Structure 1
Amino acid sequence: MTELREVVLCSPLRTPVGRLGGALAPLTARDLATTVLRALVERTHLDVSAVDSVIGAQGYPTMESPAFGRVAALDAGFPVTTTGYQLDRRCGSGLQAVLNAAMEVQTGVADVVVALGAESMSNAPLYTEQGRRGLPPGGLLLHDALARGRATVGGAAYPTPEGNVGTADALRAEYGISRGDQDALALRSHQRAVAAQRAGAFDAEIVPVTVPGRRGPVVVERDEHPRADTTLDALAALRPVLVASDPDATVTAGNSSGQNDAAAACIVTTPEHARRLGLTPALRLRSWAVAGVDPRRFGIAPVPATLLALDRAGATLADLDVVELNEAFAVQVLACLADWRVDPDDPRVNPRGSGISLGHPIGATGLRMLATLAHELPGLDGTLGVETMCIGGGQALAAVLERA
């Protein structure tokens, strides 16, 4: 077998992240994906005929865009020779698209691949599997894809009837993490994201989105989810989601990630092809790893995934300049940091906020984090970072990335 080729990631970009039912809700995931792909081509002057494939990550697809990467590529003006497909590793889907692209480039199967992640949770489908068998007694049952996916992601053997919130509160009980500590982390996340917004730290990674409206088009240029007005008192006043069944429950809407709309993309290639196409590498992929745990405590999975990825990279947590750990829940972040023995106040951890403040558009999150990390490292004069996230159903991904 030939030696694996070096991989670089070029020009990671993203749309603003919209709130559920917010400014981006009139657009489908396909609309958002097309927007970010076109912007990627425009900003890099990429010769689209050189792109072998577009790998599209999406957590809540419909048959309006089957083989999502291929459809988005065609809509964005890529030639018919550009292939594409769709993948779903839940919260890790966007990063998995990057890793799949990297493996294709490393092995020589492809030279230039675009990794794409998109989600419109505002337009997640309601669906039934009963309609083709005739109308059952009582009528058709429509499932909400958002809620149903969280309850079924562990399969029959590892049921999660209370969804991801139930597994998060299980970590609260296991680790003895207080409501106050969770709310403090949530507040810090918003404060960091708002500070980054005001400083223009996100400007280079965000592409504007034009949304049609009855009074004319509106251009969305900023993330909607960060809250400059939130306080500890406001967070403390929120009712825990599962308090009716568990009086000790602590997970609230305020210390959990959002449900959001966004798209993000980057170019994955070799240094040689990057030079040939006039591309500027932002990051090098040093190593990556995936790990699995019991789906009923899925939030802790970044611990083994990250340690394995660091071991493969010949590095340790102490070597990192930035730790991008997606905030699915504040309690989950605190549990991971406890196992790593990293202080929750460590400035390397999510220096510009994460899922609680910026939002968590499932299929796009991994690439959104990549775009942020690519700009954080030079902004903080850093060299080495890790991106990791827990994944509903008991998995986690981690990638060690080096400033190019």
Structure 2
Amino acid sequence: MPELRDVVICSPLRTPVGRLGGALASVSALDLAETVLRALLERTGIDPSAVDGVIGSQGYPTMEAPAFGRVAALNAGFPVTTTGYQLDRRCGSGLQAVVNAAMEVQTGVSDVVVALGAESMSNAPFYSVQGRRGLPSGGLLLHDALARGRETVGGRNFPTPEGNVGSAETIRRHYQIGRHAQDALSLLSHRRAVAAQESGAFDAELVPVTVPSRRGDVVVDRDEHPRADTSLEALAALRPILGRDDPEATVTAGNSSGQNDAAAAAIVTTPERASELGLAPMLRLRSWAVAGNDPRIFGVAPVPAAELALRRAGASWSDIDVIELNEAFAVQVLACLADWGIDAEDPRLNPRGSGISIGHPIGATGLRMLATLAHELAALDAELAVETMCIGGGQALAAVFERV
């Protein structure tokens, strides 16, 4: 078997992240994907015919764009020779698209692959599994895809009737993590994200989105989710989501990730091909790993995943300059940090915010994080970063990247 080729990441870009029902709510996931793909072509100047395929990640698809990566590529002006497909590893989907692209390039199956992630949680479908063989008495039952996916993700043997929030509360009980610590982490996340916005730190990775409206086009060029006006007092005033059933519940909308809309993409290729195409690599993939655990405590799965990725990279936590750990819930982040022995205020951790402040557009999150960490490493003149996230259903994905 030939030796695996080196892999680099070029031009990671993302749209702003919109709130659920917010500024990007009228824009479909497909339109967000097209926007970021067109920007990728424009900013790099790459000939779209040089791209072998587009791997599209999305957590809440419809049949408006089957094989999401292929449809998005065709709509964005890629030729019919550019292949594409769709994947779903829930919260890890965007990073999985990068990893899959890397494996294609490493093995020589492809030379240039675009990893794409997109999500419009504002437009997640309501659906029915009834009616194909006739209408049942009493009418059709419609499921909300957002809620239903969190209830069924553990399958028959690992039920999660309270969804991801129930898992977060289970972790809270096991690790004995109080409400104040969760709210403090959330406030820190917002402060870091707002500081990054105000300093222009996100500008290089952002692709504006034009939103048509009756009053004329509106250009969205700024993340909508970070809150400059939040405080510990405001966070403490929020009611726990499961408070009616559990008087000790601590997980609120304020110390949980958002439900959001966004798209992100990056080019994955070899250093040699990047040079031929005039691309400037930002990152090199050093290693990656996936891990599984009980779906009812999925939030701590990044612990084994990141540790395995570090071992494969021949590195330890002391070697890492940036830690991008997606904030699904503050309690889940704090539990992972406790197991790793890392302080919650460590400046390496999510220097520009994460899921609680920036948002968590499921299929796009992994690539959003990648775009952010690439620019963080450059700004810090640093070398190594870990990107990792828990995944609903009892999984986690992690990767070690080095700055080029």
Give the TM-score normalised by structure 2. Answer: 1.00
Letter in 2 for 1:194: V
Letter in 2 for 1:70: R
User: What's the CA shift string for 1:266-289, capped at 9, x where partnerless?
Assistant: 000000000000000000000000
Query: Which residue in the other structure is 1:37 paired with?
Result: 37
Query: Which residue in the other structure is 2:138 paired with?
Result: 138
Describe how 1:128-167 pairs up with structure 2 within 5 A.
128-167=128-167
Query: Which residue in the other structure is 1:377 paired with?
Result: 377
Q: Hey, what's the Cα distance between the residues in 2 that align with 1:230 and 1:131?
A: 46
Query: Which residue in the other structure is 1:169 paired with?
Result: 169
Q: Hey, what's the Cα distance between the residues in 1 that align with 2:248 and 2:368?
A: 34
Moved over 4 A (4+): none
Q: Hey, what's the Cα distance between the residues in 2 that align with 1:163 and 1:350?
A: 25
Describe how 1:257-268 pairs up with structure 2 within 5 A.
257-268=257-268
- The size of the alignment, in residue pairs, is 404
Query: Which residue in the other structure is 2:109 paired with?
Result: 109
- Provide the aligned C-alpha RMSD in A: 0.4
Query: Which residue in the other structure is 1:353 paired with?
Result: 353
Describe how 1:213-292 pairs up with structure 2 within 5 A.
213-292=213-292
Query: Which residue in the other structure is 1:207 paired with?
Result: 207
Q: Deviation of residue 136 (structure 1)?
A: 1.1
Q: Hey, what's the Cα distance between the residues in 1 that align with 2:257 and 2:26?
A: 22
User: What's the CA shift string for 1:121-168, capped at 9, x where partnerless?
Assistant: 000000000011211122100000000000000000000000000000
Could you say what secondary structure the match of 1:131 adopts? Answer: coil
User: What's the CA shift string for 1:155-184, capped at 9, x where partnerless?
Assistant: 000000000000000000000000000000
User: What's the CA shift string for 1:221-269, capped at 9, x where partnerless?
Assistant: 0000000000000000000000111111000000000000000000000
Q: Deviation of residue 381 (structure 1)?
A: 1.7
Q: Hey, what's the Cα distance between the residues in 2 that align with 1:402 and 1:138?
A: 58
Give the TM-score normalised by structure 1. Answer: 1.00
In the alignment, structure 1 residue 323 sits paired with structure 2 residue 323: yes
Q: Deviation of residue 380 (structure 1)?
A: 1.3
Q: Hey, what's the Cα distance between the residues in 2 that align with 1:397 and 1:81?
A: 31
Describe how 1:75-94 pairs up with structure 2 within 5 A.
75-94=75-94
Query: Which residue in the other structure is 1:299 paired with?
Result: 299
Q: Hey, what's the Cα distance between the residues in 1 that align with 2:40 and 2:153?
A: 33
Q: Deviation of residue 319 (structure 1)?
A: 0.4
In the alignment, structure 1 residue 396 sits paired with structure 2 residue 396: yes
User: What's the CA shift string for 1:371-392, capped at 9, x where partnerless?
Assistant: 0000000111210000000000
Q: Hey, what's the Cα distance between the residues in 1 that align with 2:188 and 2:131?
A: 47
Query: Which residue in the other structure is 2:198 paired with?
Result: 198
Q: Hey, what's the Cα distance between the residues in 1 that align with 2:124 and 2:46?
A: 32
Letter in 1 for 2:246: D
Q: Deviation of residue 8 (structure 1)?
A: 0.2
In the alignment, structure 1 residue 63 sits paired with structure 2 residue 60: no
Q: Hey, what's the Cα distance between the residues in 1 that align with 2:137 and 2:238?
A: 39
Q: Hey, what's the Cα distance between the residues in 2 that align with 1:334 and 1:137?
A: 48
User: What's the CA shift string for 1:197-237, capped at 9, x where partnerless?
Assistant: 00000000000000000100000000000000000000000
Q: Hey, what's the Cα distance between the residues in 2 that align with 1:366 and 1:186?
A: 20
Q: Hey, what's the Cα distance between the residues in 1 that align with 2:294 and 2:86?
A: 26
Q: Hey, what's the Cα distance between the residues in 2 that align with 1:188 and 1:345?
A: 8
Q: Gaps spanning 5+ residues in structure 1: where?
A: none
Could you say what secondary structure the match of 1:168 adopts? Answer: helix
Q: Hey, what's the Cα distance between the residues in 2 that align with 1:379 and 1:254?
A: 29
User: What's the CA shift string for 1:43-80, capped at 9, x where partnerless?
Assistant: 00011111000000000000000000000000000000
Query: Which residue in the other structure is 2:183 paired with?
Result: 183
User: What's the CA shift string for 1:311-335, capped at 9, x where partnerless?
Assistant: 0000001100000000000000000
Comparing 52-61 with 136-145, greater Cα deviation is found at: 136-145
Could you say what secondary structure the match of 1:287 adopts? Answer: strand
Could you say what secondary structure the match of 1:36 adopts? Answer: helix
Query: Which residue in the other structure is 2:122 paired with?
Result: 122
Query: Which residue in the other structure is 1:27 paired with?
Result: 27
Query: Which residue in the other structure is 1:368 paired with?
Result: 368
Letter in 2 for 1:202: F
Q: Hey, what's the Cα distance between the residues in 2 that align with 1:378 and 1:124?
A: 35
Q: Deviation of residue 336 (structure 1)?
A: 0.1
Could you say what secondary structure the match of 2:109 adopts? Answer: coil
Letter in 2 for 1:48: P
Query: Which residue in the other structure is 1:53 paired with?
Result: 53
Q: Hey, what's the Cα distance between the residues in 2 that align with 1:374 and 1:234?
A: 33
Q: Hey, what's the Cα distance between the residues in 2 that align with 1:204 and 1:84?
A: 27
